[in-house]
Structure 1
Amino acid sequence: MFTSLPRSNATDFSVFNELLPTGDMLGASPGTGYFDVLNQVSRDHNDLAYLERLWASWYLFIQNDTYATGILTFVLHEVFYFGRCIPFMILDMIPYFQKYKIQAQKMPTLKEQWNCAMLVLVSHFTAELPQIWFFHPVATYFGIEYRTPFPSVWKITLQICIFFVIEDTWHYWGHRALHYGPLYKNIHKQHHTYSAPFGLAAEYASPIETAILGFGVVGSPVVLLMITGDLHLFTMLVWMMLRLFQAIDAHKAGLEASKRRRDKKLAKIRKNKQQ
């Protein structure tokens, strides 16, 4: 099984090459597509779950584990972030659901949402992409696992619960510090541009704030990895997607009491800053 392979930081080849009986670098062969690799992995390793075969085939296809992790993580981040926001944007355009908003009279315009999306993309490429890209070499240095098979559901669940505690602590104190006078004026004020929040504004922040608070999302798994030496990259990606959902849901001002409190708080902050 693949689990017997020695560890490797793998920056110019894939440790998944040894999944193949011949050790052929399938992904590096001219004209070889991702699904060609997937078919061979599926044929030779039907003991792996389908998601694990998709995972292994991706690394075999890219043939550079740092690139494979960086591309996969960034693309998943963008797809899940904007994919989660779009349903709420549609709901905002349906009059029936406006009665559930605390500040129904302050609906974001299409122009505001477009401007928000453009700035969010700038932050993603300037602040989040470097953290995502360097995560693989840093994490492999500390011994992260990214081979198949994936860890058990129970281990993934336990570790993600730990991440939520660590990151929530970091986010609380970091966010609180950013409300200090000069830091608020020069860094955090941008995040409070919209007194009536919407999902897309979850990461509407300056690149500096995105880097500071985003460090908790990336850093929490690294802390656990440094302490225990036991973490799989798949767990990290699941955690990142769940944290994205939490951030977007917290800004959509929906039916839940916690969102209603946040909406009122943001409205109060905006009012106080204008006085």
Structure 2
Amino acid sequence: MSTNTSVFPSTSFFQSDVWLFSVYLIATYEIVFWLCNGFLIYIEMFDIPSIDQYRIQKHKKKLRFQPDMVHLMIKQTIRNQISLVFLGPIFYYIFNYIGHVDIQGPRPPWSTILFQIALFILSEDTLFFWSHYLLHTPWLYKNIHKKHHVYKQPTGVTAVLSDPIEGIINQFAVWSILVLLKETHIFTICLWVTIRVYQTVMAHSGYNFPYITTQYWLPDLMPGALAHDYHHQHGKWSYGSFFSIWDQLMGTHRLSTSKKQIN
């Protein structure tokens, strides 16, 4: 009589690379997303003078969380969270179709990690700018991108307000360069997710925070919330993601006057 030493047949699945990749990817996203947004939700609900001084749109009444706003954000956030469960395995197979993602091997040298992160940032910034620029053409804005501009005073969770088509376009900008790399490590991917989620949430924060934002250190090159908050206020200009280079070349570079708060 044959014996089976495996009590739980599904154990191999939970040790598989696709499972580990999905867990690492989703866990990284969730931790960064909710740590940042938890802080932003807290300061939106309570008046803290030492923090409120950095609010960009101080000339307007504080938005607060209105019932319709809360309902929309909850709906879109839940949709965003559910999509992550399906995107994890999909991304794994896409990334491994052309290249290879190392899940359980040793971390690569920092020189390799930083080089690949630089490629991710430069690629995403270029693709995001041009896709975002096109989304502001009349037909695409009215039928797709307008959903992201529901609120002229953005806060962190409004970053997930988007049409599904725009979501696919944004994901292409974030990940397209990765499939062209021969070898990528899960550590590098998680670091990239951390950087991208943090940058996106802080750009939508509505605050010109000192020290913890790119605009504090490099306001002209990486204007962060100063540029993106201006973009939401006016519904145009400042289309970039990380850098202002494309905006400056295209004559669409605009910043909030709140830049003076951190100088």
Q: TM-score, normalised by structure 2?
A: 0.72
Higher Rg of the two aligned structures: 1
Residue 216 of structure 1 pairs with residue 173 of structure 2: yes
Give 1:203 shift: 2.0
Specify the alignment match of 2:95 in structure 1.
139
Which segment drifts farther, 141-150 or 241-250? 141-150
Specify the alignment match of 1:269 in structure 2.
235
Mapped partners of 1:241, 1:209: distance in 2: 21
Aligned residue for 1:231, secondary structure, equals strand
Matched letter for residue 95 of structure 2: A
Mapped partners of 2:192, 2:38: distance in 1: 21
Matched letter for residue 265 of structure 1: H
Residue 232 of structure 1 pairs with residue 232 of structure 2: no
Aligned residue for 1:195, secondary structure, equals coil
Aligned residue for 1:253, secondary structure, equals coil
Mapped partners of 2:47, 2:71: distance in 1: 18
* Structure 2 contact 40–205 (Cα < 8 Å) conserved: yes
Give 1:265 shift: 3.0
* Structure 2 contact 20–103 (Cα < 8 Å) conserved: no
Give 1:164 shift: 0.0
Residue 171 of structure 1 pairs with residue 171 of structure 2: no
Q: Percent identity between the aligned chains?
A: 25
Specify the alignment match of 1:245 in structure 2.
198
* Structure 2 contact 24–190 (Cα < 8 Å) conserved: no
Matched letter for residue 94 of structure 1: D
Specify the alignment match of 2:244 in structure 1.
none
Matched letter for residue 174 of structure 1: S
* Structure 2 contact 13–19 (Cα < 8 Å) conserved: no
Give 1:29 shift: 4.6
Aligned residue for 1:267, secondary structure, equals helix
Give 1:79 shift: 2.6
Unaligned runs of 5+ in 2: 209-214, 237-263
Mapped partners of 1:264, 1:159: distance in 2: 30
Q: 1:76 aligns with which of 28, 31, 39?
A: 28
Unaligned runs of 5+ in 1: 1-25, 33-58, 271-275
Residue 153 of structure 1 pairs with residue 107 of structure 2: no
Give 1:119 shift: 0.7
Relative distance call for 1:129 and 1:173 in structure 2 (3 A) is farther
* Structure 2 contact 96–179 (Cα < 8 Å) conserved: no
CA RMSD of aligned residues (A): 2.7
Which one has the bigger helix percentage? Answer: 1
Specify the alignment match of 1:185 in structure 2.
142
**How many residues are treated as equivalent by the alignment?**
214
Mapped partners of 2:227, 2:101: distance in 1: 39
Q: TM-score, normalised by structure 1?
A: 0.69
Mapped partners of 1:198, 1:267: distance in 2: 12
Give 1:193 shift: 0.6
Matched letter for residue 23 of structure 2: I
Specify the alignment match of 1:107 in structure 2.
63
Specify the alignment match of 2:248 in structure 1.
none
